[in-house]
Amino acid sequence: MHGQIQYCWQCGQPATTQFVEGRDRRVCPDCGTILYENPFPTTAAICLNEEEELLLVQRSVNPGKGQWCLPGGFLELGETPEEGVLRELKEETNLDGRVLSLIDLSPSLNGYWGDVLVIGYHVELNGGRMSPGDDAQKVHFFPLHSRPVLVFGTHEHLLASFLDAIR
């Protein structure tokens, strides 16, 4: 339990921790609101070019500054996961895409941002001019057999699921 919620979002009173629904949760002792803490939804895109090379971005921010990962990031309010993965792809690589399929889900617990749930998609590239943007310092295609290790275990998991599915 992260205990990040300090005040009730219904009435503003200080929250306490109580055992509710089988686990410790933040609860408002005044109005009884259970202040659920949920993982942050994020996305990751697996994109291959015509030579079956994998698109990766080198991060310009922490966590993992200077290391490689799949394009992706946190969902914004009011967008679907499919919209989010395409927005993140565009922001980080300046490339456009089309979601082909859901690959897998991969949780990361107690990390830099707390708990996250990464939603992985196979994305077909269909436009744009590749250049780093947003929180990427480089964008590059790598042969699958000689790519760098990905900084996030969730991304390695999603890539393994994708490769298993296409074999």
Same domain, 111 and 56: yes
Together in a domain, 9 and 69: no
The Cα 91–Cα 147 span in angstroms is 22
Are 153 and 72 contained in the same domain? yes
Domain membership of residue 14 as a residue range: 1-37
For 33, the token pair is 């609101």
pLDDT tens digits along 17-71: 999 999 999 999 999 999 998 999 999 999 999 999 999 999 999 999 999 999 9
Judge if 33 and 111 occupy the same domain: no
Please give the average per-residue pLDDT across 129-150, as a whole number. Answer: 96
Q: Is 45 in the same domain as 74?
A: yes
- Looking at the structure, tell me whether residues 45 and 27 fall in a common domain: no
| Closest-CA residue to 91 (of 75, 115, 111) | 75
**CATH number, residue 23:** 2.20.70
Q: How many structural domains does the chain have?
A: 2
Mean pLDDT, residues 99-127: 94
- Spell out the residues 6+ positions from residue 152 whose beta carbon is closer than 8 angstroms to its own: 64, 69, 70, 108, 118
Q: Are residues 112 and 88 in the same domain?
A: yes
pLDDT score for 157: 97
User: Do both 99 and 111 map to the same domain?
Assistant: yes
Report whether pLDDT(82) > 90: yes
Instruction: With cut-offs at 50, 70 and 90, classify the pLDDT of residue 2.
Output: very low
pLDDT at 139: 98
1: confidence class by pLDDT, cuts 50, 70, 90: very low
Average pLDDT over residues 110-139: 93
Kindly state whether residues 67 and 94 are assigned to the same domain: yes
Q: Which residues pair with 64 in a beta bridge?
A: none
Please count the helices (runs of H) and the strands (runs of E) in the chain. 2, 10
Average pLDDT, the chain: 94
